[in-house]
Amino acid sequence: MKNEESTSSKFVEVKDESRIAKAFKVASVDKVFLTFWFKNQNLKFDSTVIEYLPNTKKIHLQFPVTVNEVELLRNIQTQGTNDIFGSMRIGAENFFFKTQLTDVRTSMLIMNVPDSVYRLQRRMHLRIPFPRKLAPKLFMPDPTKPFQEDIILKEEQMLFFRVLDVSVGGLSIAVALTQRNLFSSNQILKQLLFKIRGREILTNGEVRYIMDTQSDQGKSMAKIGIKFIALKPAYEKVIVQFVLDESRALFSRMY
């Protein structure tokens, strides 16, 4: 039996100065967009590296076009510290870090090179877990009955299950042991329907694993892992944005 693993374990700390330096050098040369936010997440903005200064351990950033100097200073004052969180994507890896803004000018921002950065787990998609009270429902036709392509069922005509987590690649659901026999490995599931931030997502999926486990309330259940099949780009964009926003929130809560 396995319990749900901690999402914070997906962040791997990197303290190697040479690796940190390489990441910011690449960000500088390739004009990679860095996303910054304060702990309360009241203000979020993107910027690029103007110059990486290894000798002084400073990074000069382009002043963001979406905020002004007054807004930035007000957020620093409200927070009571000049700490700021950031993230960037270098190649296939996502890096998160916490550092300090040491100067705010009309033309640029200056921040310290972080002492360490956190690399997301080396897997294609980060899974974002849902608290029970906020978990969406996944609706689907009974997978043991013949599927009719030309009929779109209403929610009340379908089975539904609590979503445990979601990623761009798929999701997992909680299933009562009495319903476990509805699913089998590599089974194709049609007309999967769920909502992310009020936006309906409709797609097909494939059962990747079936695992007996326990719920957050200590009750026996089955966890069914489902891989999306041919997820539409518009739906993928909704999930990507959700995962990015939740990743930043999870990282902020680590401090």
The model's pLDDT over 124-155, given as tens digits with 9 standing for 90+, comes to 567 888 989 999 999 999 998 888 777 777 77
* 38, pLDDT greater than 70: yes
- Cα separation, 42 vs 37, in Å, equals 8
Nearest to 96 by CA among 4, 5, 10, 6: 10
Answer yes or no: are the C-beta atoms of 45 and 62 closer than 8 Å.
Answer: no
**Mean pLDDT in residue range 61-87:** 91
- Cα separation, 126 vs 87, in Å, equals 15
- Higher-pLDDT residue of 92, 220: 220
CATH ID of 7-122, from 2.60.40.10, 3.40.50.720, 2.30.110.10, 1.10.8.10: 2.30.110.10
pTM above 0.85, yes or no: no
- Cα separation, 117 vs 87, in Å, equals 9
Percent of the chain's residues with pLDDT above 70: 93
- Quick one: pLDDT at residue 254? 66
Mark residue 208 as left, alpha or beta (left: phi above 0; alpha: psi -120 to 50; beta: remaining). Answer: alpha
Q: Residue 110 is encoded by which pair of tokens?
A: 């200056």
Rg (CA), the chain: 22
The model's pLDDT over 3-33, given as tens digits with 9 standing for 90+, comes to 444 444 577 889 999 999 999 999 999 999 9
The model's pLDDT over 189-230, given as tens digits with 9 standing for 90+, comes to 999 999 999 999 999 999 999 999 999 888 999 999 999 999
β-strand partners of 226: 171, 207
Q: Residue 184 is encoded by which pair of tokens?
A: 């089998």
Answer yes or no: are the C-beta atoms of 117 and 96 closer than 8 Å.
Answer: yes
- Cα separation, 188 vs 212, in Å, equals 20
Residue 94 pLDDT level (bands cut at 50, 70, 90): confident
- Quick one: pLDDT at residue 40? 80
Q: Residue 80 is encoded by which pair of tokens?
A: 């009571």
**Mean pLDDT in residue range 56-75:** 91
Q: Residue 65 is encoded by which pair of tokens?
A: 């076009």
Torsion angle defined by CA atoms of residues 151, 154, 159 and 162, in that order, rounded to the nearest 10 degrees: 130
- Quick one: pLDDT at residue 255? 63
- Cα separation, 152 vs 150, in Å, equals 7
- Cα separation, 109 vs 100, in Å, equals 11
The model's pLDDT over 240-249, given as tens digits with 9 standing for 90+, comes to 889 888 888 8
**Mean pLDDT in residue range 102-112:** 92
| Core vs surface per residue 80-97: b (16+ CB within 10 A) or e | eebebbbbbebeeebbbb
CATH number, domain 128-244: 2.40.10.220
**Mean pLDDT in residue range 38-64:** 91
Residue 221 burial (10 A CB sphere; 0-12, 13-18, 19+): buried
Q: Which residue type occupies 160?
A: F
The full set of domain ranges for the chain reads 7-122, 128-244
> Helices marked H in 33-156 — which ranges?
69-79
